[in-house]
Amino acid sequence: MTKLQLITSELIRHLEKLSGDAREIHWMTAFTMKSGVQKVLPLLRASLERGTSIKLLTGDYLYITQPDALELLLKELPEAEIRIWKSGGASFHPKAYLFRGREENHHLIVGSSNLSKSALTSGVEWNLLAPSLADDQAFEEAEDQFMKLFYDESTVPLNLETLAEYKENHREANLQRPFSAAWSAEEETEMMLGPGESQEIAETGVGYETKPASAEPLQPRPAQQMALDALEATIEEEYDRAMVVLATGLGKTYLAAFFARKFKRVLFIAHREEILRQAQRSFLHVHPEKTTGFFNAAEKETETDFVFASVYTLGSLHNMERFNPDDFDLIVVDEFHHAAAPTYERVLDYFNPEFLLGITATPDRMDNKDVYAICGGNVAISIHFLEAIERGWLAPFRYYGVYDDTDYSQITWRGTRYDEEELLTVQLREDFAQKIYEGYMEHRETRTIVFCSSVRQATFMNDFFRKKGIRSMVLHGQTPREERRKATARLEAGELEAVFTVDLFNEGVDIPRVDTLLFIRPTESLTVYTQQIGRGLRLADGKSHCVIIDFIGNYRNADVKLEVFDETGEYGEKRGRFAEPAVPEVCEFNLDLQVINLLKEMAQKRAPRKDALIAAYYELKREFGRRPDYLEFHLQADADSRSVKQEFGSYFGMLAYAGELREEELRVWETFKDWFIEVEKTGMNKSYKMVVLLYMLSRGSKHWTDPVTPEEVAPFFQRYLTTKEYRKRADLSDKTGKRLIEYDEKRTADLIAKMPMTKWSGSEKAGKVLFEDNHFSIQLPLSNAEQSALLHHWTEQITTYRLHEYFERKTR
């Protein structure tokens, strides 16, 4: 960057001038005031009219941002993308204004000005304006960091739901801690700098790195070969995309490199720089003759055989358009459980490769977004870490669940995490640290990773352990990269006994000789928990097993976290029951008696489970700004949708329980409750019942219950099951099903009459479903048009959900 300019007043003039030539506007301010919004609205409206893309990020830190300001933004800038940083009590204090110009000249303003009238006009403020030439590295890095924060899981979109929530939180905060004159005026008091970004260290691979460059070509290991065979079958079935789920330590990146032998040009996408660099090394081991390059904030390589791209850099429209949509034969998305995030969706919608490969160890995102749909319903292979342990591909474990007597119910939950300051109050205690130390000393092996909630907790515990004579240190996202690298080498070599870390050893990190994992934080995400467990399961010389020491208290997810040790997915499915997971014989599973009693108590309390589902529903409603439908809840809520029918009978029963139904909707639920529950719970060994019902619903709200013959359903039935390969694989792979692949009306109609129609009408609970004289009908007493429309729409939601969930389960 050149020609830095200091701006001490009238920042608004510079914002107006730069907005006039901007193709993209990205602003990030800690606090937003109505007076500031009123000043910038004219220039932002004008930019939108010119087709400028606008992203605005503000925060809820100390609830200084004014609700009226957010309401004005939402009302006046509907085309802009606006998000709120949910601080959870942690400091959030950035002020940055980025402008990507239309003529390759860009500008970055960083300084002290938030969005308030005074800060933008006459207040005492210092801001640096940095013009940038095309491809200036500092500007690209700034935009990259902005995108990471903008789509961070700590942010929520601004909509009517999140605005209402913010208003209430703002009101409560004002009552608890009345604002000073400085707050209630339209200005703000300076705070400390905001939190840094958490980072991960790239895994070193699966033992290939020491192979000399002149050696024979690398060969896949057993798990990788199984996955390659599955991918080959996928291609033969004419899929153009697939997901591969390989437990951590089985070599996902090398699998992608081996698979890339079938393609000429490859785009490898990840969200961390270290992952990209490790991937490049892995690919070059398999393809030493290929050219490689990076597409990130620092480099913009577009012509090499293999391009390793940061999703945040690539996600910018300006950067994405440097490529043609069909430039790559193969696109690989690493840590594919992130792929449903907006940045990935934008990139995947733009490109059109011959094949899209998603690789992950944890397919279910913490918010359950529809990763499954992105890969066309095609999970080529899934190898759970328990299966890998049984096959001898990963190290067995000895699990110790240690009782944590902290009362987490008294700590405020901030939507996605506990309030940081309140959590620290109970964590930074000498007696708690002593109990952790005793548990560690009783069970530990030689090399330990300790997972903490915050940097302050990690520092406190590290100091406590060092005073006890333990060789340990702290690593976190703000630790310099070289220091992190040296520390992991020291831990691998045994010079360190323990590393206390915060969100560092989750994805894409590997220290094979680590043999102890110590969890001293509440488990907020099962996906992250699974990733962290994988850090200790890599095989290594002299390592017989991994010890997992897990402190368990009455925090959220404590009663379901053990499901990660259950390969079947059935752990805890029946309410009111607790049982230890059935782990492989080579593993051990040990729980303190107090932990067992705690988990039994949590399992028996139905209300908390209902409350968790309702909380997940409201969280998703805030994300959408409207009521989500059933399939959306299944795909994107932070909850197991299977629990809905167990707890409420139906999704619409849950909405009734939550007070979310209007008067007319409530009448429909009460009138047709038995029907909705029947559709939710009728057995589905095959998809056939729901396919017939889907056809009937396709006739519209006025006629969907009219009688229908098997012959009338047959064309729809056969077409639905044969147009998608995963449906054929799930339901037409047996002898009877294979006969349906080639359409024959009589054969298909006979099957429909024999199976879904006869079986459904013949069941004890299906009193409203009849199959008589070759006519299948649904007997429901319809009254007015609104009730009929709701009945049709809700039945359609349940049917669509059940079909999606059925095929999703069958193809895993």
**pLDDT surpassing 70 at residue 648:** yes
Backbone angles phi, psi at 24, to 5 degrees: -135, 135
Q: How confident is the model at residue 549 (pLDDT cuts 50, 70, 90)?
A: very high
Task: Tell me the per-residue pLDDT of 211-235, one tens digit each, with 9 for 90 and over.
Answer: 444 456 788 999 999 999 999 988 8
**pLDDT surpassing 50 at residue 123:** yes
Given this model, what pLDDT does residue 185 score? Answer: 36
**pLDDT surpassing 60 at residue 162:** yes
Given this model, what pLDDT does residue 188 score? Answer: 36
Amino acid at 775: H
**pLDDT surpassing 70 at residue 762:** no
**pLDDT surpassing 60 at residue 532:** yes
**pLDDT surpassing 60 at residue 204:** no
What's the mean per-residue pLDDT of the chain? 84
**pLDDT surpassing 60 at residue 113:** yes
Residue with tokens 């994405």, as numbered in its chain: 320
Given this model, what pLDDT does residue 87 score? Answer: 79
Pairing assessment for the beta strands 81-85 and 127-132 based on DSSP bridges: unpaired
Q: How confident is the model at residue 180 (pLDDT cuts 50, 70, 90)?
A: very low
Q: How confident is the model at residue 285 (pLDDT cuts 50, 70, 90)?
A: very high
Q: How confident is the model at residue 500 (pLDDT cuts 50, 70, 90)?
A: very high
How far is residue 85's CA from residue 27's CA, in Å, rounded to a whole number?
Answer: 13
- DSSP state letters, 538-557: ---TT---EEEEEEE-S-TT
Given this model, what pLDDT does residue 812 score? Answer: 62
Given this model, what pLDDT does residue 514 score? Answer: 93
Q: What percent of the chain has pLDDT over 70?
A: 86
Given this model, what pLDDT does residue 775 score? Answer: 92
Residue with tokens 């608890």, as numbered in its chain: 176
Amino acid at 246: L
Bigger pLDDT: 362 vs 730: 730
- What number is the average pLDDT over the span 487-504? 88
- What number is the average pLDDT over the span 610-625? 83
How far is residue 298's CA from residue 5's CA, in Å, rounded to a whole number?
Answer: 23
- What number is the average pLDDT over the span 552-565? 82
What does the angle CA 218 – CA 219 – CA 224 come to, to the nearest 5 degrees?
A: 125
- What number is the average pLDDT over the span 560-582? 65
Given this model, what pLDDT does residue 508 score? Answer: 45
Q: What percent of the chain has pLDDT over 90?
A: 44
This prediction's pTM: 0.62
Q: How confident is the model at residue 611 (pLDDT cuts 50, 70, 90)?
A: confident
Q: Which of 65-74, 179-188, 257-266, 677-686 has the lowest mean pLDDT?
A: 179-188
Given this model, what pLDDT does residue 215 score? Answer: 54
Q: Which of 154-163, 172-181, 250-259, 762-771 has the lowest mean pLDDT?
A: 172-181
Q: Which of 66-75, 352-361, 630-639 has the lowest mean pLDDT?
A: 630-639
How far is residue 100's CA from residue 23's CA, in Å, rounded to a whole number?
Answer: 6
- What number is the average pLDDT over the span 370-384? 74
**pLDDT surpassing 60 at residue 493:** yes
Given this model, what pLDDT does residue 454 score? Answer: 86
- What number is the average pLDDT over the span 260-286? 91
- What number is the average pLDDT over the span 255-274? 92
- What number is the average pLDDT over the span 558-583? 66
In this structure, are residues 11 and 125 in contact, taking their beta carbons and an 8 Å threshold? yes
Task: Tell me the per-residue pLDDT of 505-520, one tens digit each, with 9 for 90 and over.
Answer: 544 456 889 999 999 9
Given this model, what pLDDT does residue 210 score? Answer: 44
Task: Tell me the per-residue pLDDT of 388-421, one tens digit each, with 9 for 90 and over.
Answer: 999 999 999 999 999 999 988 888 876 667 888 8
Task: Tell me the per-residue pLDDT of 690-717, one tens digit each, with 9 for 90 and over.
Answer: 999 999 999 998 889 999 999 999 999 9
- DSSP state letters, 789-803: HHHHHHHHHHHHHHH
How far is residue 795's CA from residue 139's CA, in Å, rounded to a whole number?
Answer: 51
- What number is the average pLDDT over the span 580-591? 88
Given this model, what pLDDT does residue 567 score? Answer: 64
How far is residue 83's CA from residue 623's CA, in Å, rounded to a whole number?
Answer: 10
Q: Which of 92-106, 668-682, 694-708 has the lowest mean pLDDT?
A: 92-106
Q: How confident is the model at residue 660 (pLDDT cuts 50, 70, 90)?
A: very high
Given this model, what pLDDT does residue 201 score? Answer: 38
**pLDDT surpassing 50 at residue 746:** yes
In this structure, are residues 44 and 125 in contact, taking their beta carbons and an 8 Å threshold? no
What does the angle CA 273 – CA 276 – CA 278 come to, to the nearest 5 degrees?
A: 110
Bigger pLDDT: 91 vs 386: 386
- What number is the average pLDDT over the span 357-381? 67
- DSSP state letters, 183-228: HHTT--------PPPP-------SS-TTS-TTSPPP---HHHHHHH
How far is residue 224's CA from residue 246's CA, in Å, rounded to a whole number?
Answer: 9
Tokens, residue 314:
């690539």
**pLDDT surpassing 50 at residue 350:** yes
Given this model, what pLDDT does residue 193 score? Answer: 28
Given this model, what pLDDT does residue 165 score? Answer: 85
Q: Which of 83-87, 293-297, 760-764 has the lowest mean pLDDT?
A: 760-764
How far is residue 693's CA from residue 711's CA, in Å, rounded to a whole number?
Answer: 14
Q: Which of 563-577, 624-638, 764-778 has the lowest mean pLDDT?
A: 563-577
